[in-house]
Amino acid sequence: MTDSPLTTSPPSSDPPAKTMETFDRGYATRVMLLLAGIVVAVLYVEGMLTPSLPTIQNDFHVDTAQVTLIISSYAAAGVALSPVVGKLGDIYGKRKVLVLVMLAYAGAVSVTGFSPTFAFMVGARTVQGVGLTILPLGMSLVREEFPREMVPKAQGLLSAMFGVGFVVSLPVGSYVSQTYGWRATYHTAIPFVVLLAILVFLYVRESSYRRPNTKVDYVGAALLGGSLAGVVTALAQGEAWGWTSLRTLAFLGAGVALIVPFALYERRWKRRGHEPIVDSKLLSERNVAVTNAVLTVAGLGMYLALFSLIYQFEYPIASGGYNSAFPTYHIFDAGLDIIPLAVSMIAVAGVASFAVSRTGVKPLALAGTGLTALGFYLVSIATTLTQALVYEFVVGAGIALLNASVINLLILTVDPRDMGQATAMNNVFRNVGGSVGAPIAGSLLATYLLTSGPYAGAPSHLAFAYAFWIAAAVTVAGGVAILLGHEVLGPSRHPRFADRPVPGRAGSAPRGSAPRPDAAPAESHGVGPAALP
């Protein structure tokens, strides 16, 4: 009866140690397939959104900078909600919380599809930000089924799932948006999300790892979310309000100022024996700090570049875009134009998941940052749609290498007891980067406009070039940060990790010592690939 989907294990204060002997491959595969379905459903909604942004902008009569609030409000809410939902999963059970979150997401998606005004849509998207906690919860359940030596491979497969999700969701979602309107895409997603929630309830076992005495840091989450909301609102509205206007400076100042009470409260929260959202002591661990820094700038660069690329696909050739039929917005064509990036992610992530144990994390991560930065630069100088699609493939390959490799610096470094807290911080940092990247791109595209000719008011080529150059620069900065990390895999592992088993080599341990217990699974806060908008 152990495989009964409704059977739950008694709460445990210690993480379960999954080994190759106790690995249930059939059940793990089933959960992975369900997670793949969730990825496709979420990306169906989020994947169609970016190609639809010019149409949404036109429908609500807002500028390019303002429309980025649709993306950044979603990401900012995800930053605040991820640690809260993650802790609730630890307390009440990850499967139970995952089902409730998926139903809440379905409700928010439904409301978003009926948005009568732009302000209403931004508010609905903020609530919809709970969707950013779905995949971390699901991936946490998956990771509990894998022994430590298989974690890098499982992580690579999860990266590939995002590529698969985009390949499936982009053409379908953008076709529905192009043919029936972007609102229809929201409505058609609801049955699938609800169905997947039911399947999770029926066929996924509850997590055996519970921490009923865990305290949820609601105040810290609110302060962090408020800080981020102030910054992204200033970036998104600065062009409309004026960069030196009182409102812009007030929002920016409030966002920055909230960092101080957040830091003070988190320190007090930890002194009281609770887990803060950002633990300064854990963050001082070099590999943890490196991973967070790299994925923050990677998220910033990716959102910045992807937002700009979509607009370039839909704006006129005369302004540096690739649309010869401007001002007609071709949502479906733009959706298809993003597919090379997704295909590249699928192909490279699969290879990287098997190669990382042999080559080590740092070589693959450095190769990933180099390819990504090179791809961004090449896209900035592309003069035809064909060139842009080829260079986009290079960007996808770099992102896949980076995602499939660098997260292992964190997973294979921290103490098992700190895994949940470390991955919670990682999720916060990566979403911070993503929430800031989109409004930066929108501000650039709203500031550098053509002032004359038939396409006056459209972003100029310089706007797109600046966006890709900034994305390339922050990606290079991430590469520099990788050099500071200690290697945890491959033949050149740092001596301090010599006593740790090498993933992919079951039972490896230092000669004359007892085998090290399997590391705890990451908790519900998530460490998987960053979800793209």
Complete DSSP assignment for 240-254:
HH-TTSHHHHHHHHH
Distances (CA, A) of 395 to 335, 369, 389, 490: 16, 9, 10, 25
Interatomic CA distance for residues 251 and 497, integer angstroms = 45
pLDDT of residue 370: 92
Q: What are 98-134's pLDDT values in tens digits?
A: 899 989 998 888 899 899 999 999 999 989 888 888 8
For residue 501, say if its preceding peptide bond is cis, omega within 30 degrees of 0: no
Interatomic CA distance for residues 264 and 257, integer angstroms = 12
Interatomic CA distance for residues 138 and 95, integer angstroms = 8
Q: What percentage of the chain has pLDDT greater than the value 90?
A: 8
pLDDT of residue 145: 66
Give the mean pLDDT of 39-62: 80
17: left (phi over 0), alpha (psi -120 to 50) or beta: beta
Amino acid identity for residue 136 in this structure: P
Interatomic CA distance for residues 7 and 94, integer angstroms = 14
Residues ≥6 apart with Cβ < 8 Å to 351: none
Give the mean pLDDT of 510-516: 37
CATH number, residue 89: 1.20.1250.20
pLDDT of residue 121: 92
Higher pLDDT, 386 or 235: 386
Q: What percentage of the chain has pLDDT greater than the value 70?
A: 75
Per-residue pLDDT at 154 exceeds 80: no
* 530 domain-assigned: no
Q: Per-residue b/e over 53-74, b at no fewer than 16 CB within 10 Å?
A: bbbbbeebebbbbbbbbbbbbb
Q: What is residue 208's three-state secondary structure? A: coil
Q: What are 323-382's pLDDT values in tens digits?
A: 665 555 577 777 788 888 878 887 887 787 778 778 888 888 899 999 999 999 999 888
- Contact assessment for residue 237 and residue 39, using Cβ atoms and an 8 Å cutoff: no
* 452 domain-assigned: yes
* 516 domain-assigned: no
Q: Per-residue b/e over 462-486, b at no fewer than 16 CB within 10 Å?
A: ebbbbbbebbbebbbbbbebbeebb
**pLDDT bucket at 447, cuts 50 / 70 / 90:** confident
For residue 327, say if its preceding peptide bond is cis, omega within 30 degrees of 0: yes
Would you give the DSSP letter of residue 258?
T
pLDDT of residue 530: 39
> Residue 255: which domain range?
25-497
* 8 domain-assigned: no
pLDDT of residue 87: 79
- 405 φ, ψ (degrees, to nearest 5): -115, -50
Per-residue pLDDT at 419 exceeds 70: no
Would you give the DSSP letter of residue 500?
S
pLDDT of residue 150: 64
Mean pLDDT over the full length of the chain: 76
Measured in whole angstroms, the distance separating CA 136 from the mean position of its chain's CA atoms is 10
Give the residues across from 323 on adjacent strands: 316
- Contact assessment for residue 53 and residue 183, using Cβ atoms and an 8 Å cutoff: no
Interatomic CA distance for residues 528 and 375, integer angstroms = 23
Token code pair at residue 387 = 């060139």
Give the mean pLDDT of 412-424: 67
Reported for 103-109, long-range contacts at CB under 8 A and 24+ positions apart, including other chains, are 103/193, 103/194, 103/197, 104/130, 105/42, 105/130, 105/131, 105/134, 105/193, 106/189, 106/190, 106/193, 106/194, 106/197, 109/45, 109/186, 109/189, 109/190, 109/193
Per-residue pLDDT at 461 exceeds 50: yes
Q: How many domains does the chain have?
A: 1
**pLDDT bucket at 7, cuts 50 / 70 / 90:** very low
Give the mean pLDDT of 496-509: 43
Alpha carbon dihedral 390, 391, 397, 400, in 10-degree steps, equals: -120
Most confident by average pLDDT, 207-211, 222-226, 349-353, 395-399: 395-399
Distances (CA, A) of 210 to 34, 139, 386, 424, 487: 22, 16, 52, 16, 31
* 44 domain-assigned: yes
pLDDT of residue 88: 84
Place of tokens 């910045």: 304
Q: What are 253-309's pLDDT values in tens digits?
A: 998 899 899 888 888 887 887 777 777 777 778 888 888 888 888 888 888 888 888
Interatomic CA distance for residues 85 and 94, integer angstroms = 9
* 20 domain-assigned: no
Per-residue pLDDT at 423 exceeds 60: yes
* 506 domain-assigned: no
Token code pair at residue 107 = 């409700």
Give the mean pLDDT of 510-518: 38
Residue 385 C-beta-side C-alpha neighbours within 13 Å: 17
Per-residue pLDDT at 524 exceeds 60: no
Amino acid identity for residue 464 in this structure: F
pLDDT of residue 324: 60
**pLDDT bucket at 469, cuts 50 / 70 / 90:** very high
Give the mean pLDDT of 60-68: 83
Give the mean pLDDT of 503-521: 39
Q: Which helix (H) or strand (E) holds 153?
A: helix 151-180
- 400 φ, ψ (degrees, to nearest 5): -65, -45
* 13 domain-assigned: no
Interatomic CA distance for residues 26 and 2, integer angstroms = 13
